[in-house]
Amino acid sequence: MRMPALRFPEFRDSSGWAENHLNKVATPVKERGGLDESNRILTLSGEVGIVSQGDYFGKKIAGEN
């Protein structure tokens, strides 16, 4: 089991990280989005997190399919 570098004494006796499969904590999305505004394409920015692709880049860069 991997153990992170610990900076806080209250965590020194912990058992470490628990490993989970992604399908235990997330649900896959299989249906396609529509063309309306509620299904905007999102992008992950290192500076501000998850944002609308159009707002971040000023244009849509994703393909049609």
Q: Tell me, yes or no, whether 59 lies in a domain.
A: yes
- The answer to whether the CB of 1 falls within 8 A of the CB of 17 is yes
The residue segments making up the domain with residue 45 are: 36-65
Q: Give the Cα separation of 53 and 61 in Å (integer).
A: 8
Q: Tell me, yes or no, whether 61 lies in a domain.
A: yes
Residue type (1 letter), 12: R
Tell me the per-residue pLDDT of 33-63, one tens digit each, with 9 for 90 and over. 666 655 678 888 888 889 888 888 887 777 6
Under 8 Å CB-to-CB from 36, ≥6 apart: which residues?
none
Q: What is the pTM of this model?
A: 0.37
Q: Tell me, yes or no, whether 40 lies in a domain.
A: yes
Q: Tell me, yes or no, whether 52 lies in a domain.
A: yes
**Number of structural domains in the chain:** 1
Length of the chain: 65
CB atoms within 10 A of CB 45: 13
- The answer to whether the CB of 17 falls within 8 A of the CB of 5 is no
Q: Tell me, yes or no, whether 20 lies in a domain.
A: no
